[in-house]
Structure 1
Amino acid sequence: MVLDVSSIREDFPIFRRYPDLVYLDNAATTHKPRVVIEAIRNFYENFNANIHRGLYDLSQKATEIYEDAHEVVAKFINAYSWEEVIFTRNSTESLNLLAYSIGLNYLQPGDEIVISIAEHHSNMLPWMRIAELRNASIRIVRVDENGEMDYRELENIVNEKTKVVSITHVSNVLGVINDVKKIASIAHRVGAIVVVDGAQSVPHIPIDVKALDIDFLVFSGHKMLGPMGIGVLWGRKDILMDMDPPFYGGDMVKSVDIAIRDSNIVKKNIVLNDLPWKFEPGTANVADAVGLVEAIRYLIRIDLNNIDLHEKELARYTIKRLEEYNEKITILGSKDIAKKSGIISFVLQGLDPQVLAYMLSTKNIAIRAGFHCAQPLHRYLGLNKGSDRISFYIYNDYSDIDRFVDAIDWILKELGI
């Protein structure tokens, strides 16, 4: 194998506690290495304080740690500046922040927002809502029988009315990797803003926002060995500077000046803070930023290229094993490993996905069942009960797949399928 999985698993306390666990639900969340857990504990034990404005040593140190975290993330995705990195709670909050900021600043009645049928609800519902509020329209690009985007249809849909194109980099259901550089080229011809949902790509493949020529990227810490509760919104500085934030409160302003007459505000002057702080209101999640930094450093040591090769190797092996049941198991999306990530969704003929997932859980095998927050895609594919999904990461190996397939074989025999 590309990675030394047995050595890697030693870094994860969860596998010491549950040595028999086959964890194949990494697209939902990943486990945390000890260094991440210890980094969070160390912050709370030794550096806990609120950032900015505090003149005492702890506050100054916490501020330095938090600002350095922005720098680490910026270098990880090859951003132009650390000021372009905004910390949120997760990808969902990042996308909502973008939808409302872009909607308030740029969208007019009759404008159009382009998404694909394969989007996670988080990259669909916020745009649908802001379109309703601004009297704009949503245009949806379809995928073909392999789950690949119809780029010809995208070119036909994108026009002078298009203001935003928001697309997932990697489908969380089909595992298909979209050509976001090509998408950006098509969108930029008409001056549209390009938003990329990188929740399923940033943890697995090298990302260079400059090379991709995109305008915004979102991703979540918990899907890349980091803690739950922190996400990232990266955006081009020139656009961020021009945008007003959707959330207001402490620390996102430099000054607030109001004049009152007869209990009414008759004059106000609100000066927004510099980037990235104007998009980070309230008390910062410093501890989880520290954890995210350690997760990134851990991934860098392993090398994202190695992670990509490792997952493709596992996906190739899994598809080969599942094809042994080709009349009973249907794999969704492309089987071309070059076009896929380490996500494989499938349907076992005659069995509810929830039932399969439950039966696997009795063998201590963790997978995901249902619509995977992509119900429109499943309906489009004619799957009214959803699908089962397995997804790999650095601590998975062939033995996990073998146990999974052996359990499938047991279920087929038990149910007489």
Structure 2
Amino acid sequence: MDDLKKIIHIDMDAFYASVEQRDNPELKGKPIAVGYSEERGVVAAASYEARKYGVRSTMPSTRAKRLCPELIFIPGRMGVYKEVSRQIHEIFHEYTDLIEPLSLDEAFLDVTENKRNILLAVDIAKEIKHRICEELNLVASAGISYNKFLAKIASDYRKPDGLCTIHPNQAMDFVARLPIESFWGVGPVTAKKMHSLGVHNGKLLRECSLDMLTRHFGKVGSIYYDFSRAIDLRPVEAVRVRKSIGCETTLMKDITKTSAVIIELYHIATELVARLQRNGFRGNTLTLKIKFHDFNQITRSYTQSQDLTTLDLILPLAKQLLKEVDYSTHPIRLIGLSVSHPRDEHEDVGMERKMWEQLSFEFSDWKD
């Protein structure tokens, strides 16, 4: 990779759960879930011992307990996780300042030119993994390649405690063998559509024309087209523009009565306004998210010229979006609202970047 970028993707293994096991030795080796065990609870993170039973993040707690009767639920400690993340980033900064966080537990590092003049990116990744283990008593996986897409895929390849390098001469073959579900940005819905089109892996995706992919997937089709060819031109960006702010609530019981839905909508809109004011965020697109009792979900959005910053603006628009949702025979389990499309997003931002941001960060502030 002498003439190419040297990109590392670091991903902490079962981060929240691992922090809890580290801080409470009695939990080591046991199946644990960060979250709440109540009937309406959702798993925020699961230890690898729990994952052996099929327990996964975002899974309803009731299902998780059925899969793993011995599962131990631990309330989350976000303040602790943020502090540990800060300590991890201190280690990163000893090697490079070109760091792009994706969340508290993962980030891209561009080490093409690094502070320690280490020639091989894999040696930097090994050092970082070792230091995280020695100094923080936590385990990370690392992927190394010449672009972000491949580095991300590589970090997932040999988890936990993984280390994988995808060299330029290996990239096309590696991507060809990759199941379509493993492509970054391909979720369950997109994977299902890919399968219906006969696309099951990178090789079959590469055989699709750009016209066909954009016809079926819109503008993000061009991203899938590039990924199938191991192409990703996005740089590691140390400063990232926040794309949205949102909040949501899982209801204590499913509801269908309009008056009850409106009351919940009011509370969520009030909380959203408070978050917007705390962060000084300004955007002009409001999105309503509804998850039904069967866990199917829909979204409805509206963009206007005026910034959405007050309850007087947001609540009437949220009610209008709600009118587009038929919940008379589909009880509602969860309601969420978000404001997106900050003003500077429309200025000096290329279409390719906007497409990727939409793919990667949609509803990133929402946690079930």
TM-score, length-normalised on structure 1?
Answer: 0.27
Looking at both structures, which has the greater relative contact order when contacts are Cα pairs under 8 Å and sequence separation is at least 6?
1
TM-score (norm 2): 0.29
Higher Rg of the two aligned structures? 1
